[in-house]
Structure formats: C-alpha cells, structure tokens
Amino acid sequence: MNAPFFKFEYFNFDVSLILAFIIGIGFGFALERGGFGNARILAAQFYFSNMRVLKVMFTAIVTAMLGIYFLSVIGFMDLSLVYVSDTYILPQALGGFILGLGFIIGGYCPGTSLVSAATGRLDGILFVGGVIAGIFVFGEMFPLIENFYYSTNMGSLTLAQYFDLSYGLVVFFVVLMALGAFAAAEWAEKKFADKNPENSL
C-alpha cells in the first residue's frame, strides 16, 4: 500500500495545507473556466435547461470514485485509511435542504460564490457576504441547536456498509446511475431549452 500519502506520512501536516491550497486554486480555476462563476448558468440547472452542473460534477465524482476503487484493487491504496466523516442524518439532511434553497434563490453554492467573487462579480461578492453572515449567525445560535446538531449519529458510514454490498457493486450502480442521469439531462436540455435563464441576457 502506498496511499493515502498523508496517512503513510509521505508529507507532514504543513505540507498538506500547502497542497490543499494549490489544489483549491486549481479547482476554482476549473470551475470558472467551466462557467460555474455565472449564476445564470448555475440557475439554469433548476429549470432543466442547462444541465452542465450535473454533467461536470457527476463526471468528476465518478472519475474520482473509479480512480480510488481501481487503485485499491491493484493494492496501491488502502480504502480503510480514507477519511469518511460521521453521518448525522437529520441535521445533515436539514442542512442540505437549506443549502439547496440558498442555491436556488441565489444561484450559487458556497464554492461557486467564491469563484464568482474572485472574478469580480457583484452578485458573487454579495453571496459570499451572506455566507459569512450565515456562519456568524450559526455560531451565535450553536448553543441552542447543539443537541440537534449532534443527533442521529450513524458513525463513519459508506453506502457499501449501509447496504451490506461490496464496494465494486456500489461503484457499478453509481456508474449506471450516472449514465442514466446524463441521458436524462440530455433529454431535459432539449425539452426545456426555452426556459434557459441565459436567454434573458
């Protein structure tokens, strides 16, 4: 086994932060070049008229998943050492719902808002301000919601563990789901092309 590199101490914590910074800049650049710093392109996802977000992000997820899985198959990566955060099903579901509402209303998620702000877009800058304000409000409210925040802890859980399936079978099902999602996205773009917010530019 050779990976994950950090767990095998090929570099220390300080170096990991530098690497994360470099990777973060690269990720942000890729998002901007993909058009994800434009709220109209992102909002078009919810009108089913431009499914670029689903296509790009699902492709990235499946590529990473396949890479990690096959690296484990050939013995290069130890999957048991890959960090998986604990699942708190109810608070995380509520948090995802709130984030989704913000995405629909504002046209950005936290990451894409930073990309937009970095390119000087006013709506992105305002959205980042809202994110910072939300963090402050959450921090002030945390003592009141702490019990809920840590409720329904299911531990460090993966789909393979939850459904008692092999990792390879889960990977296969996710790839099938991705292919189905891509086909549905192509159909939706043709069906709802006239509802694209970009057409109002």
pLDDT value at position 1? Answer: 59
CA distance 63 to 78: 18
For residue 144, the tally of other CB atoms under 10 A from its CB is 9
Q: Which of 92, 96, 85, 98 is nearest to 148 (CA)?
A: 92
The domain tally of the chain equals 2
What type of residue is 117? A
Same domain for 73 and 170? yes
Q: Residue 197 pLDDT > 80, yes or no?
A: no
CA distance 107 to 158: 30
- The answer to whether 91 and 149 have CB atoms below 8 angstroms apart is yes
What secondary structure does DSSP assign to 48-84, as a single string? TS--HHHHHHHHHHHHHHHHHHHHHHTTSB-GGGS--
Same domain for 169 and 73? yes
pLDDT value at position 194? Answer: 72
Same domain for 144 and 178? no
Same domain for 146 and 169? no
Same domain for 9 and 70? yes
Q: Residue 195 pLDDT > 70, yes or no?
A: no
Mind listing the pLDDT tens digit for each residue in 11-26?
888 998 999 999 999 9
Question: In degrees, to the nearest 5, what angle opens at C-alpha 119 toward C-alphas 118 and 124?
Answer: 70
What type of residue is 95? G
User: Per the structure block, which two tokens stand in for 51?
Assistant: 């499914």
pLDDT value at position 198? Answer: 59
Compute the average pLDDT of residues 75-101: 91
Same domain for 67 and 47? yes
Mind listing the pLDDT tens digit for each residue in 19-65?
999 999 999 998 898 889 999 888 888 888 889 989 988 999 999 99
Same domain for 32 and 126? no
Cα within 13 Å of Cα(128), Cβ side: 15
Average pLDDT value for the chain: 90
Q: Domain of 1?
A: 1-79+164-201
pLDDT confidence bin for 105, thresholds 50/70/90: confident
User: Per the structure block, which two tokens stand in for 65?
Assistant: 């998943």
pLDDT value at position 7? Answer: 78
Same domain for 145 and 97? yes
Q: Residue 200 pLDDT > 60, yes or no?
A: no
Same domain for 7 and 45? yes
pLDDT value at position 6? Answer: 77
- For a pLDDT cut of 90, what percent of the chain falls above it? 61
- How would you classify residue 88: left for phi > 0, otherwise alpha for psi between -120 and 50, otherwise beta? beta
CA distance 178 to 186: 12
pLDDT value at position 149? Answer: 95
Assign 86 to helix, strand or coil: strand
- For a pLDDT cut of 70, what percent of the chain falls above it? 96
Same domain for 111 and 145? yes
Mind listing the pLDDT tens digit for each residue in 106-129?
889 888 999 999 999 999 999 999
